[in-house]
């Protein structure tokens, strides 16, 4: 699983398997943002919308339990 941590210039700094990797922004689907989950398709990366929404829902659930 590849998750966008942040953008720095023309690179997306991502976490994958516990390691940080840099992916050129030009290879990532337009509209991608921090915390989106990516899947690799050939040499490009697309947003895995289902997994991204699942992770966001889990994060919201945890925050609500903590009183936020």
Confidence of residue 68 (pLDDT cuts 50, 70, 90): confident
pTM for the model = 0.90
Helical residues (DSSP H) of 1-68, grouped into ranges: 49-65
Beta-bridge mates of residue 65: none
Q: Rounded to 5 degrees, what angle do the CA atoms 55, 61, 67 make?
A: 140
Phi-psi region of 49 (alpha: psi -120 to 50; beta: other; left: phi over 0): alpha
What are the chain's domains?
A: 2-65 (2.30.30)
Tens-digit pLDDT profile for residues 8-62: 999 999 999 999 999 999 999 999 999 999 999 999 999 999 999 999 999 999 9
């Amino acid at each position: 699983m590849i998750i966008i941590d942040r953008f720095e210039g023309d690179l997306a700094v991502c976490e994958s398997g516990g390691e940080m990797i840099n992916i050129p922004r030009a290879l990532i689907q337009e509209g991608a943002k921090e915390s989106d989950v990516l899947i690799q398709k050939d040499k490009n990366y697309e947003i895995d919308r289902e997994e991204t929404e699942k992770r966001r829902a889990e994060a919201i659930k945890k925050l609500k339990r903590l009183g936020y």
